[in-house]
Each structure stands twice: as structure tokens, then as C-alpha cells.
Structure 1
């Protein structure tokens, strides 16, 4: 569907014209863009059916704009707009998004200081240049500094661990507001879409899709833009609205009718490449696929659209789970009915990496065990830090044995099985932080690197491979060592690591901490090719951390893992056998 493309084209042209201080055209272009964005039908379809006359029937589109749209639909560009782009700074569009900067101010800043983009503007603000400019002053500079900060907040990547709870919260609040006496709309179908639904580790902004009849859509939009945490309403229409929350996150809401809900959900969830592949399949079968449905090319009758399942079925594919829609072979597999049966949350029987206040954890052993039992787990492993991790209050051998004694006592009070474990530091020479006579007494040994991250690849690889060769190491924890947005993964040859792990029967951890998500989906796919087994663990320090299992599960699903690939889906007796086998 070309609506979004053409709307963005007109918005960009309006920004450039405003920069050039053309008085009336920017307003006309923006009005036309908004009408097209909220149009309930594909504009290309209107043009094919009725030509330019059909375009001018759309409110806000006159002869001149209709000519531009026709030119774009015919050639893929508008010659006049191409020339316009050469007459304004390349950063015009982003600068215009900053609150308090209109075209006149932007031109004044460009003429005075050569400010062409947000980076230039930040530099000028930090150097206190703006306050020296006529009609600006210190207050204006401070306001622009805040506006730039808001802009960067709303345009930065958002971690999955922040985005997912926030989306859940917004959806819950919107459903409640729509049920109120004032709105009276039951949003039975509403969900986040885009890269968030695919559970990517970071996302750009949050996209939400809801189903409602046409006469209900505006009520839903009224409820959305009036949510308590809204800082700014960027756009409000009958089918799409955009807001920015006070904490900076941008959220788009689209409302579609029941007959198009499944098609829209599929369209706004899949990656660009996944959707292109689907559209090509549709064309080959004599269909047209858009966010409004799957249509017969000849009769223009809708073939499917109410559900995602029927879209995939009509295209000759089994249903593809959202996490797989990245164009990594899932469509070919779906055509052959060869997709994996992905692991589900109900498959997990336990959490085998967590901490207590014996080391760096914040909760008592009893509290962590009680919460895990309340979650319905069959077993857990307590894995506090080993002795060399002094910064994490790592345990000396005597303290470790005191913990074993307490575990034995608590095991009599709780139904859940409690495994004695430790997160043991992999030292720089590749040895483990406890001697073998201690390690062999542990039910689970989780090996991890917490230091020397800047080591050369060869040295780090040798360090980890050497540790993997220790018969008592069971699991390699957070194998790449990264912290999202804070620390890059250390340099290591994962082919060598995975090969050594496979030869020694070791388990690879998928760490569910939102700041880690390690292994990530790409490394999971690579590790699976070596025939490795995995565990999904929370690495919890508090009882609230135990809920982060959903994030690791998402990465496992993105990595095409099935229940059998993950050892903490096994019953307790089988899990014990797995680790017993590793040690022998």
C-alpha cells in the first residue's frame, strides 16, 4: 500500500518548503498527507480505477498535488521534490521535529552558525552560542536544550525489557478507558505489533493495533490521546494516531475494522523482507496483499483478512509465529510444513541460575525459593557467585557449604526441588574458581566470565574453551558477556566455543536479564547447528527478576528452539541425568 509512502513524501516536501519560507504550500501539503495517511483505501487502487479525477475527490487534494501523486505512482519519484531536496539542509526533517524550531528559526540558526542537523544544534547549545543570537536569549536556549533531549529520547532505541511492560500497560489503560461510560467500546482485540511483537532485543517505537467498527474508531482515538501519561499528541486521525509519552517513548495506534484486522496484524508485525516475500507469493497466485486484506487481482474481492492464519493458509503456508518473521528461511520452511514447534512458556519447569543474599542477591534463600514455588516451578538451582568475585560478595568455600546446609533444611519445608549450584568464575587461565573436590559436590556448575573483557579474541577463546574442557562445568553463562547499550560483547571465536561445548556435552545459557539477552537470537541459531542444548535462566537477584523469563523465552523462540532443545523443560529426574552425564 502506497498511502504511507506518499504521505511521508508530502510531509518532507512541506518541511523543505517551510524552510524556504513559502507561506501556504506547506500547510496544504501537510493537510493532504494527513488525509492520505488516514485514508481507508489504497490510493494506488483509487488512481488505477479513476485516474487523477479519483485523486482530486479526496478532501485536501487539488490538481497540483494530484499531479505529484500520479507522477510518483507512475515513476517512483516527483521531479519537483527531487529539486527541492537540493535546496535545503539534509537534516531539515529531523530539525523540524524538535519542538520550538520552526522554519524561520531553523534558517536563522543555519545562517548564523551553520546548523544543519540535530548534532550541530546540540553542539551550539552546549557552547552557549544561541543565547547571543537576536531574539533568542538564555531561556530560549534552555527550552531548546530540553526539546533536543525530548527528541533524542523519542528517537532512541528502546530495550525490550522496557518496551514490553510499557506496551502492556498502555494497552491495559486504553482498554479500561474505552470501557468507561463515556466511550463504551469493548476492545476485544488489541495487541502490540512491529519489532516488539517479534520480540527483538531493542525497538524503535511502540506500535499498537486495535479492532473496532468505523463508527467506534474516533472514540478509541479520543481515549488514546487523552491517556494520563501523554506529553504530546503528534497526530490524531480516524485510523491512526501518534503520541509521545512524558518519559519520551513514541507510540502509534492504528484502528482497523474486523474484516481487515488479521491482514493488518500480519502486515505491521512482519519485517520488511518477510512481507516482501509474502507479497511476491501473493502475486504469483493471482492475489494482491495489503494491510487491508488478501484480494483477488481480477475480481478485487477480499479472499482473506480477518485473521493472520487465513492469510498464511491462502498463500499455501502454515502459520508462522511472529518471532520467526525475519526472512531467515521461515517462509520456505512454512511452505514445506517444516517449521519448528517453538518452545512455549508452559514448557519451562524451572529456573537454574539465580542469586540470594549469600552473595550479590537482595533476597534471602528462603524468599527466592518460596517465590519460585509460587510460580509453579518443579525445581530451581541456587547459583551464588564464587569466591574471586569479591565485588559481588563471592562465597568462600566455608560459606558455600553453609548454604548447602541451609538448602538441606529448607528442602524439607518446600515441595520444589532445590539444586545446589554456583556461578563459578572462569579465571584468566581458563581454570575454575573452586577446586575440583568442591565442584564435584555441586549439582550444577554455571561457568562465567566477569573480568578481562578487553582480552584479544585468541586469548578469550582459549580461556573459555579451556573451562569447557573441565568435566565439572555444566553451563556456560551469558556466553558473549555483553550488556545492552553499556558493554559490547567480548571478542571470542564462537565457532570454536560451540565446537568445544558440543564435544563436551555442555549447555549454553540464554540469559533472560533484559540488560543481557545473551545468547542473542543469531548466536542461538548458530549454536543449534552444532547440536547444542540450552537453558533459559533469569540470573535473578530479586524475586521480581524471576518474571524476566519471558525475555529469554522470546530470544529462544527467535532462535527457532523447540522444547527438546532446552534442558529446563525436562522433568527433574531427566535434568539430573543430563548433568550427571556431563560430569562423566
Structure 2
């Protein structure tokens, strides 16, 4: 199984990451990736970029070093209504929008409330991917979440970083979510969540899990650039509709 894209990477503009756009794209090219998402954090996370930085990703080229560049954001969920810290007038112009929980932006609540909050965020028509939903700090009803992903057409991320240094204790939750996605025929997308260029396209831990559960390749978005483009076209992203 060959993975050709990574939709979750962070540049120095996220404040706690350590590589530039050029370094990330070069590394993606070195690893044979065909597409990479530049998805710095929304401004509510400490150290995050100004809103103008996110809006101005339009100045980035569509392709560099043979790698197509998705201009996006990892927006932070900031309230129980699923509100995000990036306004819709900016979200609608991005190629891809990731959304997820981060403790500095919203305190964890009960399992039921966390689930409802996440589902509310999934109803935002500009959101494409829910990131690291296996985070044990934000306990959720995984079945209800996966069923909502099917209803809303949102991609479920299985985050490689969650198996390593970030969000310790995520593995069992991630495996359960992946199994449910297989059962309910819901597409997933793998994100490296790279905060340093050498981690771009690093999916080693997630790959083991997907092989162990025999996840069908048709449900893994990372195996085809065209598959992801078709999804983003269905979501009405201007770049892929034109």
C-alpha cells in the first residue's frame, strides 16, 4: 500500500513547529509524495499565526518540486456549538480545512458533551477533516462520532503523531475508530501532524494498524491524489470545482 499525500503539516508559523513551507515541500518531494497540505493552527492556540497569515496562504504556489500544495488550516474548536477560531469568510477560500480539539482552546467536558461539540463542528460545511479524534483528553462516543461522519461526509483522520509523542494514550481509541470506519464504510485520511519537516509523510504507526485490521485501500484517501481531489470537488472547494 503506497501513500502519496499528507494533509496535516505545520510550519514555523504555528509557533511550536520548526520548518518552513519550502522545507516541508522539499521533504515531501524527497519521499515521493505528490500532495501535501500546509495546515498551520488557527490563531487561538498559543503561538498560532495571525488570521491574515491563514487568509494569505493564497500566495503559495499550487505546485512546487513536483508536489501539489493544499493551502489550509487546522482550526481549533472553541465552544460547545462547534464554533471554530477561523471565520467562514476565510475558511471558504481554503483548499482544505481540518478541525479538532486542543486543550488551550477549549477545556475537555463530559463524554456526551465532547461528542456533541465535535458533531456540531462537523456540521460546518467548510470542514473537511476531523483531526486526532482518538485523543483521550477529549473522550467521545466513538460510534456516535463515526455515524455522524457518515451522515456529514466528513473525513476521519487517523493521526500518526498520536501513536508517538502527542496525545499519549490515543492508540486504542484510534484503532477502535479505524475499525468502526471499516465497518461503516467511511473513508479515513492519515495525517503525519508533522511539526518538523523530516516527519512529513511519516505514517509508520498508522500503517501497521491499518494492515492489522485489513482496512480496504478504497477507504484510505492517502493512496490517490485524484481520490482526494474528487472529495474536495464534491465539497465545493473552488480550486477543484473550476
TM-score by length of 2: 0.87
Alpha-carbon distance in 2 for matches of 1:580, 1:397: 25
1:496 aligns to 2:147 (yes or no): no
Report the CA distance between 1:366 and its aligned residue: 0.5
Alpha-carbon distance in 2 for matches of 1:495, 1:443: 28
Report the CA distance between 1:544 and its aligned residue: 2.4
Among residues 95, 99, 108, which one is paired with 1:447 in the alignment?
99
1:370 aligns to 2:26 (yes or no): yes
Report the CA distance between 1:414 and its aligned residue: 2.4
Deviations 1:109-155 (A, max 9, x none): xxxxxxxxxxxxxxxxxxxxxxxxxxxxxxxxxxxxxxxxxxxxxxx
Alpha-carbon distance in 2 for matches of 1:569, 1:547: 12
Report the CA distance between 1:453 and its aligned residue: 4.9
Alpha-carbon distance in 2 for matches of 1:436, 1:580: 18
Q: How many residues align?
A: 227
Cα RMSD (Å) of the superposition?
A: 1.9
Alpha-carbon distance in 1 for matches of 2:131, 2:218: 19
CA contact (8 A) 1:469 1:500 kept: no
- For residues 110-121 of structure 1, the aligned pairs below 5 Å read none
CA contact (8 A) 1:508 1:533 kept: yes
Alpha-carbon distance in 1 for matches of 2:117, 2:63: 40
Any idea what SS the aligned residue of 1:446 has? strand
Any idea what SS the aligned residue of 1:380 has? strand
Among residues 219, 222, 230, which one is paired with 1:577 in the alignment?
230
Any idea what SS the aligned residue of 2:185 has? coil
Report the CA distance between 1:582 and its aligned residue: 3.3
Deviations 1:370-424 (A, max 9, x none): 11011011111111000111x2x2222211133331x22xx46422100111111
CA contact (8 A) 1:350 1:569 kept: yes
Alpha-carbon distance in 2 for matches of 1:445, 1:512: 18
CA contact (8 A) 1:521 1:558 kept: no
Alpha-carbon spacing, 1:465–1:577, altered in 2? closer, same or farther (3 Å): same
Q: Which one has the largest radius of gyration? A: 1
**Runs of at least 5 residues in structure 2 that lack an aligned partner in the other structure:** 238-242
Alpha-carbon spacing, 1:560–1:397, altered in 2? closer, same or farther (3 Å): same
Which residue number corresponds to residue 354 of structure 1?
Answer: 9
Alpha-carbon distance in 1 for matches of 2:208, 2:235: 27
- For residues 143-292 of structure 1, the aligned pairs below 5 Å read none
CA contact (8 A) 1:353 1:540 kept: yes
TM-score by length of 1: 0.37
Name the one with the larger helix percent. 1
1:401 aligns to 2:63 (yes or no): no
Report the CA distance between 1:535 and its aligned residue: 0.8
Any idea what SS the aligned residue of 2:13 has? coil
Report the CA distance between 1:353 and its aligned residue: 0.3
CA contact (8 A) 1:445 1:473 kept: yes
Any idea what SS the aligned residue of 2:84 has? coil
Which residue number corresponds to residue 240 of structure 2?
Answer: none
Any idea what SS the aligned residue of 1:421 has? strand
Q: Tell me: higher relative CO, structure 1 or 2? Use CA pairs within 8 A at least 6 residues apart.
A: 2
**Runs of at least 5 residues in structure 1 that lack an aligned partner in the other structure:** 1-343, 483-488
Deviations 1:231-256 (A, max 9, x none): xxxxxxxxxxxxxxxxxxxxxxxxxx
Deviations 1:248-292 (A, max 9, x none): xxxxxxxxxxxxxxxxxxxxxxxxxxxxxxxxxxxxxxxxxxxxx
Which residue number corresponds to residue 12 of structure 1?
Answer: none
Report the CA distance between 1:545 and its aligned residue: 1.9
Alpha-carbon distance in 2 for matches of 1:418, 1:454: 33
1:386 aligns to 2:55 (yes or no): no
